[in-house]
Amino acid sequence: MASTSATQTDGLLLDSDMGPEAVKRLPAGALPLLAARIRAFLVEKVGAAGGHLGPNLGVVELSIALHRVFDSPWDTVLFDIGHQGYVHKLLTGRAGRFDNLRQAGGLSGYLSRAESSHDVIENSHASTVLSYADGLAKARRLAGESDRAVVAVVGDGALTGGMCWEALNNLGAAPERPVVIVLNDNMRSYAPTIGALADHLQHLRSTGPDSIDWLVEAGEGNNKPRAGAGSDSGDGADRVSSVGHHRRDDSELTGPLPVARNLFGLLGFAYLGPVDGHHLPSLEEALSMARDLRRPVMVHAVTVKGRGFAPAEGDAADCMHAVGVLDPATGRPRTGGDVPSWTSVFADELCGLGERHEDLVAITAAMPGPTGLARFGERFPDRFFDVGIAEQHAVTSAAGLALGGHHPVVAVYATFLGRAFDQVLMDVALHRLPVTFVLDRAGVTGPDGPSHHGMWDLTLLGAVPGMRVGVPRDATRLRELLGEAVAHSEGPTALRFPKASVSADIPALERHGPLEVLHRSAARDVLLVAVGSLAGPAVEAAQYLEERGIGVSVADPRWVLPVPPELLELALQYRLVVTVEDNTRAGGLGTAVARAVADAGSRVPVRVLGLPGRFLSHGTRSDILAAAGLTAKGIASSVLRARADRPHVGAGQ
């Protein structure tokens, strides 16, 4: 085999237009150098911009092998979540675009059909990939294109999500639809993956192919047992890699397939593995076999999250799952102010409440660290539950805990609550159960793009009978509202706060029930109703307008949904009401206030300020809020425009 010089490899492989064909043409001997170059590239670019470093370092060889064995985009290679798609992007002509990774107008941190025909799933919510694969495989078969492979890459964490098992139930029963599932098993979500599935994967990893007791040959159904493949059964099996992928001679590919005695084999999948997910020859062998089997198959690849970058591999917390700007030499964060985050205020307060309320329990869906529940779990291990990436289960399990006399706190990112809306509505609210939902990353999150903005929770929760939604404007109100929420036993409550440094405290001038007045004008011109952290910009806007002779008062309802009667009473005293929320305008607080004012028979105009009713691309939180007019300047401009539209409306009309 001709040796490939480093220069040629370097020059050829990470050019901005390098595509899968170039990767296929590479001699096997050049691949370790390609992998090393990709790792160095990832550390440099993700260290400079922030992003998902650990997950992508773990799939370098897997992504190379996928693009050498399959012909994307003729074959479809799907990634679950897509946070581990950087290497795929590098191998599909986008190496030159990583300098503005996750920045407005730049490369998305997830897959993007606008970027490439090689990208399919844009949704970053976990556990969807097998269902997409099921649908695509059906479409390929109906089009007579079953020769186009459908490959689904799913993580061990995502496999704890219920949707995966709904899809496996369908895929395993359809031998005529040859979906290739690639399980990227790095034993972690953020933290180590929990549950019986994780235990089963550990069994498969630790016992190697001998764990595959070839029970019976498929097809004729004869019951001739076969020795464990990969052992010294003398059946010609030989290990291709250290982890234990075994090799069968070609005759076995055409003959009836044995059934592996493991979860996937018993569900109808051929099982190939465990394969060393960093050993390229084994990966290419297993993926080629999977491709040629022409039936549903699970390739179990064992990888290391953060592989090849010591600070990530050794990071016990989360293997640098998602990082900010780093020093590539040390892996240490370059930024990181000392202003506490909303999450840290919540984490501390919940621990304090846990001391005072023995009925308090906490539930996370595989995100103890990012949601702040890890501290509660360390303090109260018996009252803390990580259920895996399983928000639907988290919510209904919380309902069960509430039925058992506890007050569960379910902490999830706001965007992921949508996954469990039916459970919130029918398993919790219908039974009027005391469950508190704490929605972190509410509103615009920024670099994680459209499926990560938490911009629909007020709309969803506003439709839930008996649900009370609190939105703190600062740390003091977060502590107050959390205490009020866990003391509320007549039904569910929810609190939401953004991915940001916590806002400076804004004292109240007056208190009317749950509502606080933050800025009072003698003239009852305009009432600004500010939701949560937008109170600061609203007060700033009011001060700006007051200097220009326009009387603006600012109210913070604190408990925003259902609309407090005190808010309606106040609104009816003004000539114009303007609501401001970090939520889609479609059906949030503003819509509820407008409806309450109309239902009261009043003609006071209500102008709703919020996020536009469309998907918002990635960028910084501040830029996206500014573009939506949700800054002091934007709010002031909107008030001026609203007044100009209705110059003569009197108070209380």
Ligand X SMILES: CC(=O)[C@@H](O)[C@H](O)COP(=O)(O)O
Ligand Y SMILES: Cc1ncc(C[n+]2csc(CCOP(=O)(O)OP(=O)(O)O)c2C)c(N)n1
Site for ligand Y in 264-323 (CB under 6 A): 305, 321
Annotated catalytic residue within 391, 441, 468, 581: 391
Q: How many residues form the binding site for ligand Y (CB under 6 A)?
A: 25
169 assigned ligand-binding residue? no
Q: Which residues of 118-156 are buried (b: 16+ CB within 10 A; e: fewer)?
A: bbbbbbbbbbbbbbbbbebbeebbeeeeeebbbbbbbbb
The yes or no reply on residue 157 touching Mg ion (CB under 5 A) is yes
Site for ligand X in 493-552 (CB under 6 A): 499
The yes or no reply on residue 285 touching ligand X (CB under 6 A) is no
Q: Say if CB 42 and CB 101 are below 8 A apart.
A: no
- By the 10 Å C-beta count (0-12 exposed, 13-18 middle, 19+ buried), 530 is classed as buried
Number of residues that this document lists for the chain: 653
Q: Is 391 a catalytic residue?
A: yes
If DSSP codes are grouped into helix, strand and coil, which group holds residue 508? coil
Q: How many residues form the binding site for ligand X (CB under 6 A)?
A: 11
Q: What gap in Å lies between CA 144 and CA 598, rounded to an integer?
A: 57
The yes or no reply on residue 435 touching ligand Y (CB under 6 A) is no
Nearest Cα to 243, choosing from 190, 204, 284, 193? 204
Q: Say if CB 95 and CB 129 are below 8 A apart.
A: no
Residue 158 interface partner, choices ligand X, ligand Y, Mg ion, none, CB cut-off 5-8 Å depending on type? ligand Y
The yes or no reply on residue 533 touching ligand Y (CB under 6 A) is no
Residue 448 interface partner, choices Mg ion, ligand Y, ligand X, none, CB cut-off 5-8 Å depending on type? ligand X
Candidate segments 118-126, 129-137, 465-473, 591-599, binder of ligand Y by CB under 6 A: 118-126
125 assigned ligand-binding residue? yes
237 assigned ligand-binding residue? no
- 425: which DSSP letter? I
391 assigned ligand-binding residue? yes
- Pairing, β 576-584 against β 552-556: unpaired
The yes or no reply on residue 83 touching ligand Y (CB under 6 A) is yes
Annotated catalytic residue within 89, 305, 383, 643: 305
The yes or no reply on residue 473 touching ligand X (CB under 6 A) is no
Q: Which is nearer to ligand X, 112 or 591 (CB)?
A: 112
Phi, psi of 209 (to 5 degrees): -65, -20
The yes or no reply on residue 164 touching ligand Y (CB under 6 A) is no
Q: Is 305 a catalytic residue?
A: yes
Annotated catalytic residue within 45, 291, 419, 575: 419
- By the 10 Å C-beta count (0-12 exposed, 13-18 middle, 19+ buried), 282 is classed as buried
116 assigned ligand-binding residue? no
Candidate segments 176-184, 252-260, 445-453, 627-635, binder of ligand X by CB under 6 A: 445-453
Residue 306: CB minimum distance to Mg ion, A: 11
Side by side, which strands form the sheet with 510-512? 510-512, 515-519, 552-556, 526-530, 576-584, 606-611
Site for Mg ion in 172-231 (CB under 5 A): 186, 188
Q: Is 575 a catalytic residue?
A: no
x/- mask, ligand Y, residues 45-64, rule CB under 6 A, reads: ----------x---------
- Pairing, β 515-519 against β 510-512: antiparallel
Residue 387: CB minimum distance to ligand X, A: 16
Q: What gap in Å lies between CA 500 and CA 444, rounded to an integer?
A: 10
The yes or no reply on residue 80 touching Mg ion (CB under 5 A) is no
If DSSP codes are grouped into helix, strand and coil, which group holds residue 323? strand
Query: Tokens for 241?
Result: 């890699």
Cβ of 91: how many Cβ atoms within 10 Å?
A: 26
219 assigned ligand-binding residue? no
Q: Which positions touch ligand X (CB under 6 A)?
A: 81, 83, 124, 321-322, 370, 441, 445, 448, 452, 499
Return the active site residues. Answer: 305, 391, 419
Q: Which positions touch ligand Y (CB under 6 A)?
A: 55, 81, 83-84, 124-126, 155-158, 184, 186, 188-190, 305, 321, 365-367, 389, 391, 416, 419
Question: Binding site membership: which residues?
Answer: 83, 124-126, 156-158, 186, 309, 391
Question: Binding site membership for Mg(2+): which residues?
Answer: 156, 186
